[in-house]
Structures are given as structure tokens and as C-alpha cells.
Amino acid sequence: MNGNTRQATGSGLFANRWSQLVIGMLCMALVANLQYAWTLFVAPMNARHHWGEASIQLAFSIFILTETWLVPVEGWLVDRFGPRPVVAGGAICAGLAWMLFSHATTLTELYIGSVVAGIGAGGVYGTCVGNALKWFPDKRGLAAGLTAAGFGAGAAVTVIPIANMISSQGYEHTFLFFGILQGVAIFVLALLLNKPVTRATAGIKRKFAVSKVDYTPGQMIKTPVFWLIYVSFVAVAAGGLMATAQIGPIAKDWGLAKLPMTMFGMTLPLLTMTLSIDNICNGFTRPLCGFISDKIGRENTMFAIFIGEGLALLGMMHYGQNPYAFMTFAALIFLFWGEIFSIFPAICADTFGSKYAAANAGTLYTAKGTAALLVPIASVLSGAGGWSLVFIVSAVITIAAGVSAKFVLAPMRARWIESGTSAAASSANASRLSASSGE
């Protein structure tokens, strides 16, 4: 075996694993606006309907919860039926959600649209990441990172057109136009996706321990090592989600949001410029850190990056009211945060096997939904102690997760994989002996 997964169905350009990876990345890029462009719509919606920013941001939390907590079900569907029908269904929901947003005149309608958007985004995200883990058992970090990069960087291409369209034609028209565009494009791409054939990984050379046993989601959630990984995911995701959802209000409170900034020959409001740069960093870090984790190990990468995230949050707290420092530390926050969406799916497949990778990674991905519950808490903390308290709390839990990854998770996971391998070997030997005695 040379690491290349055999084609599942069909032949030609779209049947090899690298083509499948690119298709997954494009699907992710097209669905990314459901999360990363959200902050651009909050102020216009509030100006039109006077619902209050807290009530509007509740829709964001509903979206994240729905997106993440249904991914295990969508992952199970992928493992059973393949990626094509799940992504096609996600495309329909993604387009329909923004069409609902464009016509929403009550908070109830807004929240219903958020549920539909969450179903759509989860169907696309969970499927494409899980499919990449299966196609690339030899390069899980890189494959998951490139796939997740589409979700991180995809919005960078459209954030400026979306912001301009909101200003010129209103947020309702923007929701409708981009909803139809994204939904149709993802649906077409879904028809090109293939399910890979699970292949043996014995010939793949690795520098760190990988499970040779395939665990179902039910078996996985009964293990302490899974819950340590889960808590680490929640801790680091919380800080990044706070920045994603609250960076607009933070810039507004600090009087920076509309400040004109010139870069690369373009002059844009600081918030628009910052979001564009942040999304590029958020996308770039995913394949980079995934690739690094393939080389030096998941926990070593987590240790360095999570501590960097904590320091970036503290830097924003101390220096962020300077416009250039705000843009710099916001970019660093996204740079250090985005890699969790490549490393955690990879470490999940490394620990619990490839066969149920989509459902297992989807189960772990619910940690993002749990972290989303902390987004409204950020507003409470800011009211009690200003944004400084939010940054301090986020930094502390993120740095703690980095230290825990190196000194607690790494040895625990190594012991778990070793015990599972030994048990599998003993079971195989017993089966051979039983077969021999029966001859």
C-alpha cells in the first residue's frame, strides 16, 4: 500500500482522492458565510426591527448548537449512505435558511431560520471533514485542515461583497441573493462527491501512536480519553467563538468599527478589513497546523498553538484599542484558534479508527456547540467587568487546555491506544486458536 485510497465508484477526474478533497473544500467555502458573515447582519437587522443585539445574537447561538449537535446524526448517515445525499440536503437547507432570514419579520422566524441554517451547515461540514479523514488515513491532519480551511477562508472572498451589498441594497436582498447562490452551487458540487473504500493502513509509516481498532460512537463516548479531548475542544473553541460573534460589538464599543484603514491599496472600514484578514488567517492555519501535527504529533502542536491563542487574547485586551494592534491581535486570535478544526478531527480518527470516522468526528464536533453556550456569557462578563474580563477568562482556559494536552492527554491517549491494540491482538490470536482447534 502506498497511501492512496482506492476509488469508490466511477472513474476519471472527480474519482481520485485529491479531486474529492478539492470538492469538499469548495463546499465548505460556500457554506462558511452562514457563520462568518453573520456579524455583518446584526447591526442592520437591529436598526430595522429594534429586536436588540442580544436577541439577535441568540439566533447565532441557535445556529451553532443546531449545526454541531446534529452532526453525529449526519455523520452516521454519511457512514451508511455516503456523502452525496447528505451534502445535497445540506445545500438545500443552507440556501433556504438565508431566504428565510431575508423575509423574517419576527424573532421567531429568525430563530426558525437559524435551525434550518444549522442543519445545512452541519450536513456540509460534518460530511466533508469525515470524508477527508477516510480518503486520507495517511495524512489526516493535512486533509482535515485543508477541508476545514475552506470553511475558515471561504468567507474571506465574499465578506467585502456582502458588506457592500448590505450597504447599497439592504441586508434582506443580500440574504436572498447569496442564499440562492450558495445553495445552488453546493448542490451541484454534492453530485460529484464519492464515498471512499475503507483500506488497510498497516503500510503507512507514522511517528506517533494510531489506533488499529475501529470504535463506534457508542463505544467512544464511554472512554475517559474521549471526554478529555472533548473538554479541551470546548475550552479552546469558546475563545474563538467569542471573537467570531463579538468582534463587531467589541470594535464598536472601542470606537474602531468605522475607522478607515488602508492596506494593499484598498481603504475599508476597520471592521470589514479585520474580518477579511481574520478569515484568511483562520483558513490558512488549518492545513498548516494539520500538516505540522502529522509530523510532530497532535498534542505537541496543541501545546504550542493553544498557549499562543491565550497570549493573543491577552494581547488584544492590553493593546487592542489601537487600530493597528486590534487588527494584528484579531488576526492572531483567528490564526491560533482555527487549527482546532483540523487537529481535533485528526486526533479523533487516530484514537478511535477510520471506519466510523464521520460519526465519531461529528460526535466530537458537538463540543463547538457546547462552547457556543459561552457566547452569551461573554456579554454578561463584559457587562460585569468589561471586555477585559472576557479576554482573561478565555485566555486562562485556553492556556490550561494547551498544558493539559501535553502533560495529561498525550500519556493517557498513548496508554489507551496500546491497551486497545493489545486487546485486539489477543482477540485475533484467540480466534486463530479456536479455528485451528476446530479443523
Cα–Cα dist 119/125, whole Å: 10
pLDDT tens figures, 17-49: 889 999 999 999 999 889 888 888 998 999 999
Mean pLDDT of 149-155: 75
Q: What average pLDDT score do residues 76-95 get?
A: 92
Cβ contact 323:282 at 8 Å:
no
pLDDT in tens, 330-369: 999 988 988 898 999 999 999 998 888 889 999 998 998 7
Residue-level pLDDT at 5:
41
Domains in the chain, ordered, with CATH?
Answer: 17-424 (1.20.1250.20)
Task: Give the pLDDT mean for 411-435.
Answer: 71
Which three cell numbers, joined as nine digits, stand for 139?
495524512
What is the mean pLDDT of the segment spanning 206-234? 89
Integer Cα distance of 295 and 272 in angstroms = 36
pTM > 0.85: no
197-231 burial, b at 16+ Cβ within 10 Å, e below that, comes to ebbebeeeeeebbbbebbbebeebeebebbebbbb
d(CA 212, CA 58): 42
According to DSSP, the β-strands at 260-263 and 266-269 are: antiparallel
pLDDT band at 205 (very low <50, low <70, confident <90, very high): low
Bridge partners of 266, per DSSP, are 263
Beta strands in 221-259 (DSSP E): none
pLDDT for 104 equals: 93
